[in-house]
Structure 1
Amino acid sequence: MASRIEQIIEEIQDYIDECKYSTFSSTKILVNKEEIDELLHELKSRTPDEIKRYQKIISNKEAIMDDAKQKADALIKQAQSYSDQMVNEHTIMQQAYEQASEVVNQARQQAQEIVASANAQAEQIQVSIMQYADDTLATIQNLLSHSITETQEHDAAFINSLNQILMVVNSNRAELHPEEDLAQNEAIADRAEAERTARAEVEEAQDVSETDNVEGIVGDETLNVIR
């Protein structure tokens, strides 16, 4: 909306445009003094009021600008405070994350060390058990071999002794009955030899069976120890 001063200026401009030029001139015009004085007087009287109004507007503008500046400063401070808070929270979160990661890594490393130590101990125990089982089997093997050898030697000596006694008995009987008992003595000697051979085969088979049984028992016990 235009002010009254602007309206008066436009009216003066329109009035000048409507005035007629003076005779023999293209730059001078003829004006009505009363009309132009009235317009100028009103313009003069209106000027202080307009100036006051503009001063008030300017004053209000400065107040508005000051208020806007204060609000802007407050918003800037608030934004800066919020930004600082976010930075601090981010720093705290970053530190917490780094500490948590370090704890997890330490726990993982300790777990790996514990597992490795347990595996090493298990392998060492396994080796010790295998060595103990092998030593035990070797001892039992030596005992069985020695026992079998002693038994065979004892039985052979005992059988030889019996055969010698039998031969003496047969000789004595032959002296008593030289004609009758020659063939019988030979048959008895052959039968005794056959019985001795059969007995030796049976005893050998029994020894093998007993050895297999002992080895089976020892094998089961060894497996139980290893398990």
Structure 2
Amino acid sequence: MNPSRIEQAIDEIYNYVEECKPSKLYPSKVVVDREQLYDLLDELRLCAPEEIKRYQKIITNRDGILNEAQQRAEDMLSQAQQQTAQILDQNEIVQTAYQRAEDVMRQATEEAERLVNAAQDESDQMRKAALLYTNDLLSEAQGHVEESLKEIDNKSRMLTSALKNSIQLMRSNKEELMMQLEPTKAAAASESQMPEEPEQLEPQPQGQESFEVPEDAFLKNAEE
């Protein structure tokens, strides 16, 4: 049995998810193109009515079966009436003709009812089978779509959480750097406000070089 268009659309969604690139933050997850996935889901949605029409044709055969049975019943009744008329034309067997006519009419009526009932039962079974199969297809398609949407929602939440954690980490590092810079600036400001006392200064020994720490030394160390 050839796969239906719904099954093909579901296979395309699976193949697309398999071909998506893995996430940099979570290698076990993949990054999907929302528009492309929506296009695949729209195609799946469009396939469903066509599949339903396909099985509705099976249901419409019910009318054909009933019409055929009704026509056969009418033909049998017509033949019975013709036979009855022929029997009644024979005067010598009038009573027998009436009896035979009633028997023929009764048998024809019973056979016609049997054919109509059988056709009705057959069409009802075909209609029920078609409806059950269509319902199974729609249930399966709905399950796959809901699972895909749930997976996309989970991935979006995980990405949002990871970005929030990254922003929080950056803020924390920035605050730590500012705390390291503030004491250095405060010390420099205090030394610039102190009065000069040249008589208490001691000369530096000859040959000893002065050493200055760049202001951005803490920034570089923190970044490393």
Q: Taking structure 2 as the reference length, what is the TM-score of the superposition?
A: 0.44
Q: TM-score, normalization: structure 1?
A: 0.43
Greater RCO between the two (CA within 8 Å, min separation 6)? 2
Structure having the higher Rg: 1
